[in-house]
Amino acid sequence: MPNQEMLLIPGPTPVVDEIYEALAQETYAHTDPRLVKRFKNSLDMLKRLFNTKGEAFIVAGSGTLSMEMAIVNTVAPGEKLLVISHGFFGDRFIPVAQAHGIQVEVLQPEWGQHIEISAVEEKLAQGGYKAVTVTHVDTSTGVISNLEKLVPAVKKHGVLFILDGVCASAAVEEDMSKEYGHPDYTIDLVLTGSQKAIGVPPGLAIVAFGPKALKAREAMDKVAAYYMDILRWLPTMQDPGKYYATHPVNMIYALEKGMEIVMAEGLEARYKRHASLGRAVRAGLAEYGMKALAAEEVAAPTLSCILYPEGVNDAEFRSKLAAKGMVIAGSLAALAGKAFRIGHMGNVTEEMFVKAMELVGETLTEMGFKADTAKAVETFKTVYRLGLAE
């Protein structure tokens, strides 16, 4: 099933033929031993991806479900949660937590910038927090959080570290066994979805619980949930042949193939490819006078929020690109109409982004702007290949 468009939004990402073929296979019964084997294989690969000593959960749903599962199973009503937000999707933890009666406080820098670590430490020093949420890459701003600084700043206060990996997992390291300066300074929970850097269609909520996060759920008498309660799912994750709710059978096939592609590339190679691609896309677009919202030192490998040069009409620009088969996303909140968002993650290729650079230049020219397409393409190629060679 060839893709008719280059879907270069922050997710879903382009789906390769092997995954489409897996998705289209005959649907087995949800407790069929053949499905159980594939489900177990998918879980095993996810545990390797996150290097967790705990458990991974695969549930029919979206990244938003992953967020709610993470919160409801670790923080009880009345307890305090600190949300560290680098944009629109970091903010989403606020209503999710409030819906469950959790006390929420928020730290948020100006969009496009990092939170000051001193502000995090000052807030946590006040005491009483059960957990902190951090969005690894915020899909609205293209900012990547600095885990090297944030994890120890949070963990030295004995607080759970919850990482939203929706726009980062399988493109940026999220090693739950990594020690950030101390054996106790590790990521406790990673939540994600299937449709971004993993490269599978939307439909799966994925959550990895480390030992401390599992203990947090066990210490809670009950949670205000049925479908989202991980203790109800745990026996099924340990033995997918046990029934709790019907598995999304064909999506499990797709996830297994997607994770096989991730593992075949190799995690370190995949992380390097994404880092190189992010820098190259931003460098190429800069030749058109298009500046990234996030400075390079805080910019994400998976997507970029790109500010328009003066005079470019957002709706016209994106509409013309879509007519050429290249789909990008508008920006959110105060940036709406002033910037676009372009995804560069998952199973995308150098050739796709060479084409993207050409289409952007062609479109700008049609709109009456000067565009040196050859220079943008050459800059993209040079930066990308140098990054891979490092």
Q: Would you list which residues are annotated within the binding site for substrate?
A: 341
Which residues does the annotation place in the binding site? 341
Dmax over CA atoms of the chain, in Å, equals 64
Pairing relationship of beta strands 129-135 and 80-84 according to DSSP bridges:
parallel
In sequence order, the 6+-apart residues with CB closer than 8 A to the CB of 350 are 277, 381, 384
Q: How many CA atoms lie within 13 A of 32 on its CB side?
A: 14
Chain centroid to CA 388: how far? 22
The whole-angstrom separation of Cα 119 and Cα 235 is 41
Candidates 270, 292, 297; CA nearest to 342 is: 292
Candidates 281, 264, 268; CA nearest to 341 is: 281
DSSP β-bridge partners for residue 343: 303
Chain centroid to CA 136: how far? 7
Write phi, then psi, for 194 (nearest 5 degrees): -85, -15
The whole-angstrom separation of Cα 274 and Cα 300 is 9
The whole-angstrom separation of Cα 328 and Cα 317 is 10
Burial class (CB in 10 A: 0-12, 13-18, 19+), 221: exposed
Write phi, then psi, for 325 (nearest 5 degrees): 95, 15
The whole-angstrom separation of Cα 60 and Cα 200 is 13
Write phi, then psi, for 262 (nearest 5 degrees): -60, -50
Candidates 212, 227, 228; CA nearest to 131 is: 212
Which tokens is 108 given? 């948020």
In sequence order, the 6+-apart residues with CB closer than 8 A to the CB of 221 are none
